[in-house]
Amino acid sequence: MFVAWRDMLFAKGRFTLITSVVVLITLLVGFLTGLTGGLANENISAVQGLNADKIALANVAESTSEKDPTFSDSQITREQAKAWSQAEGVEESTAIGISQSRGET
């Protein structure tokens, strides 16, 4: 312990530099965590804003390798939408379209 205290007293600049680097890395991780959380929230905010109890997706075609339905691959026919609106316990059924876009400046 004595050697550590002696090193800290004689090499103050080095330990200050190491401490400042650790603090800056901690701040960077904190900022990136906040940015990631915000972007994730923006990514799903359109679906959360629907205020729907349930969202029905069509089965994915057997030709795709994905097992679970996705918003971009799901296509519901008029007959399927009509069947959902007439199902027991369903008060309202509305077909929606969700698409992704990319903008560049």
Residue 57 is part of which domain span? Answer: 53-92
- Whether residues 33 and 65 fall in one domain: no
pLDDT at residue number 62: 59
Assess contact for 58 and 74: CB atoms under 8 A. Answer: yes
In a shared domain, residues 32 and 5:
yes
Output the furthest CA–CA distance in the chain (Å, rounded): 81
* pLDDT (tens digit per residue) in 56-76: 887 766 555 667 777 777 888
Tell me, yes or no, whether 97 lies in a domain.
no
Which residues have a Cβ under 8 Å from the Cβ of 67 and sit 6 or more positions away? 60
Query: Using one digit for the tens of pLDDT, what is the confidence trace for 31-56?
Result: 999 999 999 888 888 788 888 888 88
Same domain, 9 and 40: yes
- Ranking 13-17, 67-71, 90-94 by mean pLDDT, the lowest is 67-71
Residue position matching structure tokens 């990136």: 32
Residue 14 within any structural domain of the chain: yes
pLDDT (0 to 100) of residue 56: 80
Joined tokens for residue 51: 């205020």
Residue 105 lies in a domain: no
In a domain, residue 81? The reply is yes
On whether the CB atoms of residues 57 and 74 are closer than 8 A, the answer is yes
Q: Residues 25, 67: one domain?
A: no
Residues 12 and 47 occupy one common structural domain: yes
User: Which residue, of 18, 33, 51, is where some domain finishes?
Assistant: 51
Assess if residue 74 is contained within a domain. Answer: yes
Same domain, 32 and 58: no
| Torsion angle, alpha carbons of 54, 59, 60, 66, to 10 | 70
Number of domains in the chain: 2
